[in-house]
């Protein structure tokens, strides 16, 4: 009798738990604002960028500037159900003041962002790679409120 009850509970609860786990990343879906703040590094000055992003089906896509132009940055990656995310960023150097062999205006770069999201906000930090090419950058994510429905006519 006890085994039958346990099997029945597992049979009922498992699909419910799996359904909830599959829908969990969708709680982040919507329009987001991204704020990137990077400290000065070598001859490169500090900067702050604000740009839009969208989460669809639990996957973030955010873009600053036009693809391929100096200052272009795109961030992509899935947000796990618990809010953790390892995002991939790639872009194009925006200033000639950048130092190092790879930091010439127009050259491409990439890095990872370790992030943590809630339903309405998030924070992240850029990985420092080998420490000689990367610079400290932080990210703040803010989910935008849904647009109000148009008035009925």
Cα 16 to the center of its chain, rounded Å? 28
Domain residue limits, the chain: 2-143
Over the stretch 28-61, which tens digit does the pLDDT of each residue have?
999 999 999 999 887 778 999 999 999 999 999 9
Report the distance separating Cα 109 and Cα 73, nearest Å. 9
Per-residue pLDDT at 53: 98
CATH class in words for 2-143: mainly beta
70 or 148, greater pLDDT: 70
Q: For 25-91, give the secondary structure using H, E and C.
A: HHHHCEEEEEEEEECCECCECCEEEEEEEEEECCEEEEEECCCCCCCCEEEEEEECCCCEEEEEEEE
């Amino acid at each position: 009798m006890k085994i039958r009850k346990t099997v029945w509970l597992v049979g009922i609860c498992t699909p419910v738990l799996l359904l909830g786990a599959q829908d969990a990343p969708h709680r982040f879906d919507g329009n987001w604002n991204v704020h990137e703040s990077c400290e000065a590094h070598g001859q490169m000055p500090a900067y702050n960028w604000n740009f839009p992003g969208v989460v669809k089906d639990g996957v973030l896509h955010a873009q600053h500037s036009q693809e391929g132009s100096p200052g272009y940055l795109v961030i992509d990656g899935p947000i796990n159900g618990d809010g953790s995310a390892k995002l991939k960023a790639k872009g194009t150097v925006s200033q000639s003041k950048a130092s190092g062999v790879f930091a010439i205006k127009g050259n491409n770069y990439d890095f990872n962002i370790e992030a943590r999201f809630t339903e309405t906000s998030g924070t992240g930090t850029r990985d420092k790679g080998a420490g000689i090419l990367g610079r400290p950058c932080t990210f703040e994510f803010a989910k935008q409120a849904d647009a109000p429905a148009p008035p009925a006519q």
